[in-house]
Amino acid sequence: MHLGEGLASLAIEESRPISVINPAQHPRYRYFPTTEEERYASFLAVPMLNRRQAIGVIVIQSTEQRAYPASEISALTTIAFQIATVVTNAKLLDYVSNAYTSNTGLGQEEFSGGIRLKGTIAYPGVISGPAYIMDNRCGFADVFDEDDTDVERELRRVRDALEETRIHTLMLEKRVARKLSEEDAAIFHTHLMILEDRAFQDQLANEIQAGHSAPYALKKVISSYTETFSNMDDPYLRERATDIVDIGRRMLSILTGQSSKALKLKQKGILLAHEILPSDMAVIEHEKLLGIVTESGERNSHAVIMAKSLGIPALVGVKGVTNRINEYRLRPALTRDEVEITMRANIGLVSDVDIALRNGAQGVGLYRTEFPYMTRSNFPDRQDQYQLYRKIVESFAGESVTIRTLDIGGDKSLPYFNLPHEDNPFMGWRSVRISLDNPDIFRPQLEAILMASAHGPVKLLFPMISGIEEIQACKEMVEESKENLRREGISFCEDIPIGVMVEVPAAVQMCKFLVKEVDFFSLGTNDLIQYMLAADRNNQLVNKYYNPLHPAVLQAIKYVADTARNEGKGVCICGEMATDPVNFTVLLGLGIREFSVVAPFIPRIKAFLADIEYTRATEITHAVLEMGSATEIREYLVDALLNMHKSGGL
């Protein structure tokens, strides 16, 4: 039976139940001999709708003549809806299980070019508003394979994560049902079915049995499913890749203990993203959402369906939108009087690379290597670290990447490395002290960094140095590592620049000696401030004492910057202090020309720089250095910036 033939297909065409007494007399009646339908005197057809599309019809016929009452039609409609969901999901899971191993590449669509970005209208409307770019927070980029996993433990981890994700999914379902509709919430049924699907669970278990950690097993299964889905012909099934990514992301955040953040829009605006996952749409503040634009995504993506429910316009398939919209990012970092400043990024995870590039970072001023150690369940070996560092170095295509050796201890711990209990961990066994006491951890890392230096400009940075002996010990270890690599015939950069973090007050006092040992200083103001002012950077109670504009801090930075400059060595600020325009003005005035900050601050600092004169910043700082009170310094700076604003600058 084809569409357009018979009464059953009328239910599909009209997307509604068809109830007829004496069907043979109906103009749309068509007799199919094999059905022996001539016995029946009443007919009821109810379409099976899934996402407003009919995937089949349920037909009930009776031998007696009767009009089906509304209550029976309604009951059958409910049954049809439930069956439609089950059938679609079953088809979907079947398809994936069969195609589990088929992985072919995705087609690329050309970007239309120019400043006009084109996409497909998924839901029409005209809106304007600020753009919010949502970063891909999936995190699988930072999950790597590991050796020596404990199979039982990993199986337990996966089981727990499945259960927690299931509970979380039920919560999302409730929230969407309350805020939007039952129909919009139905997607989370599919998520639940996948989470409860035997094949999905078995594949995870198989990967763990094969020796992979729980996060890596998840990565493998999720990427295999998504590739399979992405290559399907049916647009509905293709779109299910998004659901798999969504489930994977939520499970991963549970496995790695990172809670996924709710999407917050500062004010009403348009959300731009590579793709918007169902759970993103569930947690976003719907009142502030004016429209959505996605790079990927089909017209029937779940995000689009929700956008329709909210009545907001949606554009999909807008290639390059997340990169092109904030093109300002490419403006140079120049002061108003054209002094060039270098703005680098602080990164920790591979996923930060994309954010850094998108924000126009000139390389990396601080790569905190403890982050990849933290997301694992074992120490990565030399090869794993090398692959990771190399990937990052290559992503910055010729811009320098400063790699800092492991800085654990204090407030950063590793689940698999037992730190002793200490009364005062920030003053304890942390950072380079741990590295120097554990050559088996330190040497592979140094060798991996050296190996990465063959693929682009890499600088090597040591944290928490307080005196000459430590940096000399580190350098000895570097020499040993170089020697090892030479013996193995592995190439690396022979004169890799070496620097120290100046973040312990002793290093400030020692900087005229340290400067002879190194190629550059990296001022770690986060720790420097806390140690100089004896105010824990994470303790709200002493927050008022943690003051970056304290004269002691400014004098210390001046001394370090002057010492480096006089010796022709580099100096970069990589603490959070530089992200505040008031602080930034003083640092600029102290002659600092290189900064490394969390990447999203870079465009803002560039905009600020374009309005401020370097010579004026120098004058302001000159005055500030004569002051003995942090309050006076701040007031003076705020006044000076306001005056500049009034007189046309800023």
Instruction: For Mg ion, give the closer residue by CB, 48 or 406.
Output: 406
Helix segments in 318-366, DSSP class H: 321-324, 350-358
Give least dist CB 165 to ligand PEP, A. 31
| Residue in 361, 360, 363, 362 with CA at minimum distance from that of residue 329 | 360
Choose the contact partner of 575 out of ligand PEP, Mg ion, none; CB within 5 to 8 A by kind. ligand PEP
Instruction: For ligand PEP, give the closer residue by CB, 220 or 404.
Output: 404
Site for ligand PEP in 525-564 (CB under 6 A): 525-527
Residue 524 binds to Mg ion (criterion: CB under 5 A): yes
The window from 260-268, 387-395, 517-525, 596-604 that contacts Mg ion (CB under 5 A) reads: 517-525
Near ligand PEP by CB under 6 A: residue from 139, 215, 248, 575: 575
Choose the contact partner of 89 out of Mg ion, ligand PEP, none; CB within 5 to 8 A by kind. none
Q: Which residues of 238-277 are buried (b: 16+ CB within 10 A; e: fewer)?
A: bbbbbbbbbbbbbbbbbbbeeebeebebeeebbbbbbbbb
User: What DSSP line would sit under 600-638, residue for residue?
Assistant: THHHHHHHHHTTS-HHHHHHHHHHHTT---HHHHHHHHH
Provide the 8-state DSSP code for 63.
S
Provide the 8-state DSSP code for 334.
B
Give least dist CB 404 to Mg ion, A. 9
Instruction: For ligand PEP, give the closer residue by CB, 140 or 595.
Output: 595
Choose the contact partner of 581 out of Mg ion, ligand PEP, none; CB within 5 to 8 A by kind. none
CA distances from 377 to 154, 171, 185, 420 (A): 10, 29, 35, 18
Near Mg ion by CB under 5 A: residue from 207, 399, 503, 594: 503
Q: Vertex 431, ends 426 and 435: CA angle to 5°?
A: 145
Residue 466 binds to ligand PEP (criterion: CB under 6 A): no
Choose the contact partner of 574 out of ligand PEP, Mg ion, none; CB within 5 to 8 A by kind. ligand PEP
Site for ligand PEP in 468-527 (CB under 6 A): 503, 524-527
| Residue in 513, 514, 511 with CA at minimum distance from that of residue 498 | 514
Choose the contact partner of 275 out of ligand PEP, Mg ion, none; CB within 5 to 8 A by kind. none
Instruction: For ligand PEP, give the closer residue by CB, 239 or 352.
Output: 352
Alpha carbon distance 169, 384 (integer Å): 34
Residue 410 binds to Mg ion (criterion: CB under 5 A): no
Alpha carbon distance 395, 397 (integer Å): 5
Residue 184 binds to Mg ion (criterion: CB under 5 A): no
Give least dist CB 353 to ligand PEP, A. 18
409: left (phi over 0), alpha (psi -120 to 50) or beta: left
Give least dist CB 365 to ligand PEP, A. 9
Near ligand PEP by CB under 6 A: residue from 184, 246, 384, 407: 407
Alpha carbon distance 560, 368 (integer Å): 22
Site size toward ligand PEP (CB under 6 A) is 10
Choose the contact partner of 366 out of Mg ion, ligand PEP, none; CB within 5 to 8 A by kind. ligand PEP
Site for ligand PEP in 334-373 (CB under 6 A): 366, 368
Build a one-symbol-per-residue string for 453-492: x at contacts with Mg ion by CB under 5 A, - elsewhere. ----------------------------------------
Q: Which residues are catalytic?
A: 302, 574
Which residues, 6 or more positions from 213, have their beta carbon under 8 angstroms from its beta carbon? 145, 146, 149, 154, 376, 377, 378
Instruction: For Mg ion, give the closer residue by CB, 314 or 366.
Output: 366
Are the beta carbons of 267 and 131 closer than 8 angstroms? no
Six-digit token pair at 277? 């996952």
Closest CB to Mg ion: residue number: 527
Site for ligand PEP in 88-147 (CB under 6 A): none
Beta strand 401-404 with 570-573: parallel, antiparallel or unpaired?
Answer: unpaired
The window from 279-287, 526-534, 563-571, 620-628 that contacts Mg ion (CB under 5 A) reads: 526-534
| Residue in 256, 318, 253 with CA at minimum distance from that of residue 279 | 253
Find the helix or strand (DSSP H, E) in which 597 lies: strand 594-598
- The one-letter code for the residue type at 255 is L
Instruction: Give strand pairing partners of 501.
Output: 522
Give least dist CB 392 to ligand PEP, A. 17
Give least dist CB 431 to ligand PEP, A. 8
Residue 527 binds to Mg ion (criterion: CB under 5 A): yes
SS3 1: coil
Choose the contact partner of 11 out of ligand PEP, Mg ion, none; CB within 5 to 8 A by kind. none
**Can you give the binding site for Mg ion, defined by CB under 5 A?**
503, 524, 527
**Can you give the binding site for ligand PEP, defined by CB under 6 A?**
366, 368, 407, 503, 524-527, 574-575
